[in-house]
Amino acid sequence: MKIPLVDLKAQYLAYKRELDDVIASTIEGTQFIGGKFHQEFAREFADYCGGGYVALCGNGTDALYLAIRAVLGQGDNTQEIITVSHTFIATAEAITMAGYRPVFVDIDPNTCLMDVSLIESKINQQTRGIVPVHIYGQMAPMDQVMAIAEKHDLKVIEDAAQAHGAFWGGKRPGQLSDAATFSFYPGKNLGAWGDGGAVFTRHSQLCEKITMLANHGRKTKYLHECEGVNSRLDGIQAGVLKVKLGHLDEWNEKRRQLASIYTQMLDQHKDIVLHKDLSNGGHVYHLFVIEVKKDRDRLVKELQDKNIGAGIHYPVPLHLQPAYAWLDVPEGALPVTEHKARQILSLPMFPEMTQNQVHTVADTLMACL
């Protein structure tokens, strides 16, 4: 039996009829860019996020880039934005694309989220904003991030690419900050059948500005307020996302149940450290990531040889990537981040996974250890 890290085919088969219909209807109506599903999905996703406005765009990287550009303006490469090194490269790419220098803080070993107690040590005259990353599906402690931001007059844009539907203190991403950005890459908790992204904000004018920037700076068809980019969400993707949004809460609940089985089975093992859900049930387990005390690389290989799709998110922190050598952050500067990169292991996690499959993965892992 093969147990992949994620299984997108299983999700398609479970909702085949609805998904096929929405695609056929987009094609019939030739609504390939914009259109009915685009408008409906933007409205429904904004409601889902807790009420506000949604600007749809081409992918999660653009969502973050456009949000930073709209909230803070294009930077001149001397101003700084504080974020984490323990994330996908897109977080830092979006920051530099918008003309800001990424400044990395270390993470909390309990959650792998930004260690908020370290933020203030990185704030200086050049600091303009904070980009917390809700890694693995758990939100960073947003009340604490906002308190620091307000004290120092900084903007906050949340990278919620892995956290559709997550909560912190009863609030979803974007409810306290300037904006939250999402990716609809196929493997995310809410995934399209291609690329897609969105910015959620409580501010209607900010949403309008991002919508404009994502469509060549267009105010109306022939009037360009400024130069923007071409980052639009396809009509077909909007249709697929609209159908899938209706199932997101149920899928996230399924992920939580599977995570609790993993937790029960692996909790007492002497070579395993489990991460904590400090968000009081608000974690949506985009990934189920554990720390193993030894032999991580051997374990990944052995699990893969046994047809279990283990992964590593992420093996090389951004400050140690060749792409960010110019930031001059030396090895050893972010000890928790570097420790996690060596010891973490992602286990299969997708809503259609069965309890038996979780048992198989956990038993196999413990046998390998």
Ligand X SMILES: *Cc1c(COP(=O)(O)O)cnc(C)c1O
State the residues that interact with ligand X by CB under 6 A.
59-61, 87-88, 90-91, 133, 159, 161-162, 183, 185, 195, 197
Q: Which is nearer to ligand X, 26 or 162 (CB)?
A: 162
β-strand partners of 53:
201
- Smallest gap from Cβ 215 to ligand X, in A, equals 18
Q: Strand order in 272-274's β-sheet?
A: 272-274, 288-292, 344-347
Backbone angles phi, psi at 79, to 5 degrees: -80, 155
**Is the CA virtual torsion 329, 127, 76, 232 positive or negative?**
positive
- Smallest gap from Cβ 43 to ligand X, in A, equals 21
Q: Which residue is nearest to ligand X (CB)?
A: 60
In which residue are the tokens 């758990």 written? 138
- Smallest gap from Cβ 265 to ligand X, in A, equals 26
Q: What does the alpha-carbon distance between residue 167 and residue 28 come to, in Å, rounded to a whole number?
A: 38
Q: Which is nearer to ligand X, 75 or 132 (CB)?
A: 132
- Smallest gap from Cβ 195 to ligand X, in A, equals 6
Q: Which is nearer to ligand X, 87 or 346 (CB)?
A: 87
Q: Which is nearer to ligand X, 162 or 364 (CB)?
A: 162
Q: Which is nearer to ligand X, 275 or 362 (CB)?
A: 275
Residues 6+ positions from 275 with CB-CB distance below 8 Å: 110, 111, 112, 136, 289, 290, 291
- Smallest gap from Cβ 187 to ligand X, in A, equals 8
Count the neighbouring beta carbons within 10 Å of the beta carbon of residue 147: 13
- Smallest gap from Cβ 120 to ligand X, in A, equals 23
- Smallest gap from Cβ 17 to ligand X, in A, equals 27
Residues 6+ positions from 63 with CB-CB distance below 8 Å: 57, 161, 181, 182, 183, 197, 198, 199
Q: Which is nearer to ligand X, 57 or 362 (CB)?
A: 57
Q: Which is nearer to ligand X, 61 or 364 (CB)?
A: 61
Residues 6+ positions from 177 with CB-CB distance below 8 Å: 142, 145, 146, 149, 156, 157, 158
Q: Which is nearer to ligand X, 175 or 189 (CB)?
A: 189
